[in-house]
A and B are shown apart, each in its own frame.
Chain A
Amino acid sequence: GAVVSQHPSWVICKSGTSVKIECRSLDFQATTMFWYRQFPKQSLMLMATSNEGSKATYEQGVEKDKFLINHASLTLSTLTVTSAHPEDSSFYICSARGRGVYEQYFGPGTRLTVT
């Protein structure tokens, strides 16, 4: 089956610094990638959708200058949290979809803690 990986699995950073999370599709070409955020005991909230080679489309209320998304290749998307603050601490999950199909495959998630 299709596999999506994320790196790192967890990261701790200091307030004011930036942190980058990578999402890779290992055995298929991901024409579309999605980034979700999940607070404890809450659902997944879609942050943005990106198509390879295009700018990401952000959901309402998500600051695009704070959460920078780059989908430079068919196997890699990155999410950079800029000037992180403690309220950005969360579980970030990426998802990827191949060309011509609707099914999404989910990564294992990245736990971000901002101190």
Chain B
Amino acid sequence: KQEVTQIPAALSVPEGENLVLNCSFTDSAIYNLQWFRQDPGKGLTSLLLIQSSQREQTSGRLNASLDKSSGRSTLYIAASQPGDSATYLCAVRSYAGGTSYGKLTFGQGTILTVHP
């Protein structure tokens, strides 16, 4: 059974700092890994998706890396801004016994607060 863990559970940083969020998963047989953002009381916004054959993906100030063999991913946020404050969720898509396209398993999330 796939398990996804995110560290830290919460992070508070001053504006302008570069920061790293960590995600680890127990079963390395994944199709892909995805990072989401969730604002309080809202749904999920997809940030980056890394295929299992890729090492990293970049979008603006965000960079996500994937080391499938060690079961780890990091989300790097450069020059953080107060608007980046949200919960960041990591999710892996892995084989789920007969279901096509696998199943998404989510981590518990990292609550990020960027203060001015």
Q: Which of A43, A91, A102, A108 contacts B106 (CB 8 A)?
A: A43
* Binding stretch for chain A, among B53-61, B67-75, B97-105: B97-105
Q: Which residues in window 64-116 of B have CB below 8 A to A? A: 89, 91, 93, 99, 101-104, 106-109, 111
Count CB-based A-B contacts (< 8 Å).
47
> Within the complex, what minimum Cβ distance (angstroms) separates A23 from chain B?
11
Given A44-B89, A102-B102, residue A107 in contact with residue B108 (CB < 8 A): no
**Interface size, B (range):** 20 to 34
- A43 engages B93 (CB within 8 Å): no
- Contact residues of B: prevailing secondary structure: strand
Give chain B residues whose Cβ lies under 8 Å from the Cβ of A108: 42-43
Once the chains are docked, how many angstroms separate the CA of A108 from the CA of B46?
12
Once the chains are docked, how many angstroms separate the CA of A4 from the CA of B107?
22
> Within the complex, what minimum Cβ distance (angstroms) separates A93 from chain B?
6
Q: Is A106 on the interface with B (CB-CB < 8 A)?
A: yes
Q: Is B20 on the interface with A (CB-CB < 8 A)?
A: no
- A102 engages B41 (CB within 8 Å): no
- A97 engages B101 (CB within 8 Å): yes
Once the chains are docked, how many angstroms separate the CA of A104 from the CA of B106?
13
- A109 engages B89 (CB within 8 Å): no
> Within the complex, what minimum Cβ distance (angstroms) separates A64 from chain B?
17
Once the chains are docked, how many angstroms separate the CA of A46 from the CA of B43?
14
- B43 engages A43 (CB within 8 Å): no
- A107 engages B43 (CB within 8 Å): yes
Q: Is A27 on the interface with B (CB-CB < 8 A)?
A: no
- B108 engages A43 (CB within 8 Å): yes
Residue of A nearest to B9 (CB): A41
Once the chains are docked, how many angstroms separate the CA of A41 from the CA of B110?
9
Given A41-B108, A93-B44, output 9 extra A-B contacts at Cβ < 8 Å.
Answer: A43-B4, A43-B108, A44-B44, A49-B99, A97-B101, A102-B31, A102-B93, A106-B46, A108-B43
